[in-house]
Every structure is written in C-alpha cells, then in structure tokens.
Amino acid sequence: MFQPLDPLLHSELRLAIMSLLISAEEAEFPYIKEQTGATAGNLSVQVDKLSAAGYIEVEKTFKGKRPCTICRITPNGIKAFEKYVEAIKSYLEVK
C-alpha cells in the first residue's frame, strides 16, 4: 500500500530546502539560494511556507550592518522529511 506524499514537501524547491537542512541543520539564505538555483523571491515564498508549517525556523539577524537570514530545520520538519522519504520508498518497492 502506498503512503501519502506530503504535498508541502512534494514541491521541488521545498524538498531541496529540506534536503539541505536535514544534513546541515541550519543554513544562511544566500547559501540555500546558491545551492538550489532559486530566485530570492521564490526562495523567500517557499521558506515562508515551510516556516508556517513548522518545518523550519527562520531567524533574521545582522552580520555587522548586513541582514542575515538563517534557516533551521525543526524536530517536526525532521519527522515530516523522514515520513516523506518512507512514503517515496513505498512507491519504489516492488511487491
């Protein structure tokens, strides 16, 4: 039986963000932008969606005089990502 896929994580960019954060635990916005190839605007929208779902935390600080946005995966985000991976595996298993 197939497990349902989390529609929030089934977006290519949101899945890429979560994949980066699952291994790094936290990353600055420019790094995520560079790694995903996303535009700043699109990345910002997707980060907001993941944050609203409780999958990531967003901290806005400053490095000197420059703004710095740090994204961190939450325990709920880790659980959701692991569940998503298990759901994908259920589709790949041959029975």
User: Using CA atoms in the order 46, 22, 77, 25, what is the torsion angle rounded to 10 degrees?
Assistant: -90
Q: Which domains are assigned to the chain?
A: 12-90 (1.10.10.10)
User: Using CA atoms in the order 20, 24, 28, 32, what is the torsion angle rounded to 10 degrees?
Assistant: -20
| pTM assigned to the model | 0.91
User: Using CA atoms in the order 7, 29, 35, 53, what is the torsion angle rounded to 10 degrees?
Assistant: -10
d(CA 63, CA 65): 6
pLDDT tens, residue by residue, 18-62: 999 999 989 999 999 999 999 999 999 999 999 999 999 999 999
Is residue 93 within 8 A of residue 4, CB to CB? The reply is: no
